[in-house]
Amino acid sequence: MAGPVLAWSEKKDLLLELLGGGSSLAEAFGSSLKALVLAGGPEAASGAEELAKWADEVLLATDGKFSVPDSSVFASAIQDVARSEGADLILIASTRFGREVAARLSAKMKVPCMTGCTSIKVEGGRLLVERTVYAGRAIARQECPSLPCVLAVAPRAFERPATKRNGKVRTVSLEVPEPKLKLLSVKEKELKGPRLEEAEVIVAGGRGVERREDFAMLEELAKLLGGAVGCSRPIAEDRGWFPEWIGLSGRKVKPKLYVAVGISGAIQHVAGIRDSKVIVAINKDEEAPILSVSDYYVVGDLYQIIPALIEVLKRRKGQA
């Protein structure tokens, strides 16, 4: 029997996913499942009761210093809790901030850290982890050498929990160090439509889409399919048409349907879409790499195909 599985994320939805995966790990270890909430104030603490349904215990620490996103402060707090609870497996959602916290935490605790984990299993007492490597081109299967260890888990690697544990919330008091960072202001990203990670359908455009206004076609198609619009990195970063992109260095998505429009399929892009259920590509180049990772594709000019698709869908919906 190992020590508890301790899950923490700064994002409540991802913490819930960690509890989904953490539940079977706790069972395999014969141990308990605990969630940690580090709240900057009462508002941030408000979801703890709800989380407790899916954990054996929720440990809640509230301190104004957690309002500042200083990874060393969070790492220090998690270390204190991991030590006092005797946690053997520390699961952290692999967001940008989460990865920073995971790295600092493992260095402080002098324990192994594995990032980008897409699957974690216990087999014959061994902790086996799968991680994407080489920009998503390969999956490495690795054994965690010792416990305790810190695992940064990719968003959506685990499903949300299905079995209730009906635990309780326990307030813990921690010696929280002073943040070394000063928070000057917070500006929310302006996002239209559903978040890409949550969208069931995504229509994404790449450099094949020539003008910003041409994205109106993709937006119309996405609307008819009940989905969101995304893009490749050059569209967001170089052309500045969108605040975020899909891929290895951007959002990793897992929709039921991903439509890649005028996207070549560079490995960095494919790394972010490989968990999509069905990939459809529209590209005028029959040699484009995206075609080889697609379930269906159309070789042709997007400026003809997208309007034709919109027309068919509208007709089916009785809108034409």
Ligand X SMILES: Cc1cc2nc3c(=O)[nH]c(=O)nc-3n(C[C@H](O)[C@H](O)[C@H](O)COP(=O)(O)OP(=O)(O)OC[C@H]3O[C@@H](n4cnc5c(N)ncnc54)[C@H](O)[C@@H]3O)c2cc1C
Binding site residues, ligand X, CB under 6 A: 206-208, 232-234, 245-250, 262-264, 266, 268-269, 272, 282-285, 288, 301-303
> Which CB, 137 or 141, lies closer to ligand X?
137
Q: How far apart are CA 35 and CA 281, in angstroms?
A: 40
Q: Residue 141, exposed/middle/buried by CB under 10 A (0-12, 13-18, 19+)?
A: exposed
* Alpha carbons 92 and 60: distance in angstroms, whole number: 16
Q: Measure the CA–CA gap between 18 and 13, rounded to whole angstroms.
A: 9
Burial class (CB in 10 A: 0-12, 13-18, 19+), 228: buried
Ranked by CB distance to ligand X, the top (closest) residue is 247
Least distance from ligand X to the Cβ atom of residue 271, Å: 7
Residue 9 or 283 having the CB closest to ligand X = 283
Least Å distance between CB 288 and ligand X? 4
Q: How far is the CB of 265 from ligand X (least distance, A)?
A: 7
Q: Quick one: 152 or 282, whose CB is closer to ligand X?
A: 282
What is the smallest separation between the CB atom of 135 and ligand X, expressed in angstroms?
7
Rounded to a whole number of angstroms, the minimum distance from the CB of residue 236 to ligand X is: 8
**Which CB, 11 or 207, lies closer to ligand X?**
207
DSSP for residue 66? G
Least Cα distance to 55 among 80, 96, 85 occurs for 85
Cβ-based nearer residue to ligand X, 144 or 204: 204
